[in-house]
Chains A and B, each alone.
Chain A
Amino acid sequence: MIAPLRLAFQALAANKLRSALTMLGNIIGVTCVVALVNIGFSGRAMIQRDLSSIGMNLIFVTPRYDPDAENPMQRWRPLENDDVKAIQYHCPSVAQLSPCVSWGGKMTNGNRHIDCQVAGVWPDFLRLRNYKVASGAEFTSADVHGTAKVCLLGKTVADELFGGLSPLGQLIRISGRPFVVLGVLEPKGSLLGGQDQDKVVLAPCSTVQLYLRGWRYVEVVFITARVRDEIPKMKDEVRAAIRHSHKLAANKKDDIEVQDLGEMAAMVDKVIFSATALLSAIAFISLLVGGIGIMNIMLVSVTERTREIGLRLAIGAGQWDILMQFLIEAVVLSGCGGLAGVAFGAGLSAACSLILKWPVTLSLLSVVIAIAFSAAIGVFFGLYPAWRASRLDPIDALRHE
């Protein structure tokens, strides 16, 4: 087995540039497949990690958009404070609960400022979203009831407005309104999309509604269950509570969406998986094109080496030997292309992980499949040229100039 391989390498080394160019199709194909699959897989792993950093038992309630409603005003019924209270009082499975109303504005401290989102929430929001107070204290239910103008700063905001100084007890202005800083949150890092989870200001929900948004609605209600198993039951309770609070007739559909992060995770995962699969399929086409290139060059090689084939036949090689010789050469071409592709693909994945700061792990399966497919291409497209070589007439072949 070693000798035919060495022979194949010798033959390919005799035309280094040509062999390299022939391999290019396979190299590009395998590079794409390996890079795409691995980057895709890493992306999925990252999303899982992000989701668990947000909180896996989390459910959120949002208004449902109904494009079929006759009256345009009824297509979308926002959630109000009463709806939040309905959930609070009529859903026994709920462990923690917080509405959220946001306001995008300018935070200023003297001549320092930063544009960011203020989330109007309840104290439980910190537990719901895995935020922790690094210094100072969180605001209380009393602050929510009293529409106190207090806030908690994310690390990025605190650094931007106060440099290295402690912001505790200081006054900042949010869109011109003064707020007292009660505390600073522990850093949480960025999400997959690059969104900085620390570029945030938390304030009591009622305060944001009253002084910033100027309305009584909330955009979303976050809820957690005590245990994951109770999530379906809790969803039913929430739907019933809102139906009651919205006084929906029995024949009407729910006018809210109750979404589960686990479900969303599955959905996002599916989207990324299909995108990866689709792109890989396109990359496989480049492998096919590479295979045609290999066939072309092998046909040229058979013509060029007609005399060699004639000689080999004359000194006792069987048709099978000649067939195998050229087939092995084609497979070595495509296999080497595959190996080089794996190297480039792994490099590309590594570069991606450096730039995006993802932990990219090389999936062994993707490497094995890419190399195996590449070699299979060599067999498939090498077969015809090798067969032609083996069918040559030794007398004509020996006379070939």
Chain B
Amino acid sequence: MAEAPPIIAVERLVKTYGAADTAVRALREVSFTVRAGEFVAVMGASGSGKSTLLNILGCLDRPTSGLYRLEGRDVPAESRCNLARLRLRTLGFVFQNFQLLPRLTAQENVELPLHYVKGVSSGQRRKRAQEALARMELSDKLQRRPTQLSGGQQQRVAIARALVNSPRVLLADEPTGNLDTRTGLEILTLLQRLNRDGLTVVLITHELDVAACATRRLLLRDGHLIGDAVQTALDARTQLAALPREDEAPVKA
């Protein structure tokens, strides 16, 4: 793993909100690198700056100062237009509350990012969306709307949407926060499988159980990076099998 090139490199990253005397310093000189193929869990209490970090890593926000290189590109220097292209090509987002559009079917939700890629025909869009949903084992739910799906299914649709453009990095903001333990483990199983297939995953969580499934753990407190440790990941599938029988999940993962 160590010989893989860094895909994310941040150095002395600072983010300050507000004016001088009432300024909130959300990130104070955070530096780390993530190599391709890593599964990183960013931990920290609320207010520790982990959401701010994810927004900056996700090219949704710009740091006040510091360096951020994504695949070697100097992100703070890029135009808004190029940042959108980076989000489209290189990054995939998974949110705590899924963020599916309620009016659209599962398939249409997954097709969404492809609308912003030039030269993709509607046939290719449909095909790629169906492939992505098939990887999430949702081939039988293509035409369902989000309200007709369980929480776990909705999150899997959201992951399919994040994957449909074949990103290099998956950014997940508390992906299991709105799910029960079993469904959460199912989602983690999927993320681990994607990571084994070569996808870099950066996951934000405040739950130790969830962080235990990562191969590396970053710990934030009050905007400082206070811990950075490589660990042996717990296999989510084994944990899933170990769960007591009675809270049977409605859908097999």
Contacts and interface: CB of A to CB of B under 8 A. Distances in A.
B115 A311 contact: no
Contacts of A321: 115-116
A315 B61 contact: no
B87 A10 contact: no
A311 B84 contact: no
B87 A316 contact: yes
B93 A315 contact: yes
Given A14-B103, A395-B55, A317 B122 contact: no
B158 to A, nearest CB: 10
B85 A318 contact: yes
Contacts, number: 61
B99 A317 contact: no
B61 A316 contact: no
Contacts of A11: 103
Interface string B60-95: 110000000000000000001100110111000101
A313 B84 contact: yes
A307 interface: yes
A38 to B, nearest CB: 39
A318 B81 contact: yes
B113 interface: yes
B112 interface: yes
Nearest to A320: B81
A316 B89 contact: yes
B165 A398 contact: no
A197 interface: no
Q: Is the interface of B mostly helix, strand, loop or mixed?
A: helix
B80 A395 contact: no
Contact of A312 (B95, B103, B112, B165): B112
A2 B93 contact: no
Contact of B84 (A3, A4, A307, A319): A319
Contacts of A267: none
A316 B122 contact: no
Interface in A262-318: 307-308, 311-318
Given A307-B99, A398-B99, A315 B60 contact: no
B115 to A, nearest CB: 6
Contact of A316 (B99, B103, B104, B165): B165
B93 A314 contact: yes
Nearest to A4: B115
A394 interface: yes
A313 B58 CA distance: 11
Given A307-B99, A319-B80, A319-B81, A3 B55 contact: no
B161 to A, nearest CB: 7
A315 B112 contact: yes
B101 interface: yes
A308 B61 CA distance: 18
A4 B114 CA distance: 12
B87 A311 contact: no
Contact of B99 (A10, A311, A395): A311
Contacts of B104: 10
Contacts of B61: 395
Contacts of A4: 115
A316 B101 contact: no
A387 to B, nearest CB: 14
B85 A316 contact: yes
Contacts of B93: 314-315
A7 B85 CA distance: 21
A325 to B, nearest CB: 9
Interface of A: 2-4, 7, 10-11, 14, 307-308, 311-321, 394-395, 398
Given A3-B125, A312-B112, A319-B81, 10 more contacts: A2-B122, A11-B103, A307-B99, A308-B101, A313-B60, A315-B161, A316-B88, A316-B116, A319-B84, A320-B81
Interface of B: 55, 58, 60-61, 80-81, 84-85, 87-89, 93, 95, 99, 101, 103-104, 112-113, 115-117, 122, 125, 161-162, 165
Listed from nearest, the 7 A-B pairs whose CB atoms lie closest are A316-B88, A318-B84, A316-B87, A315-B113, A311-B99, A394-B60, A317-B116
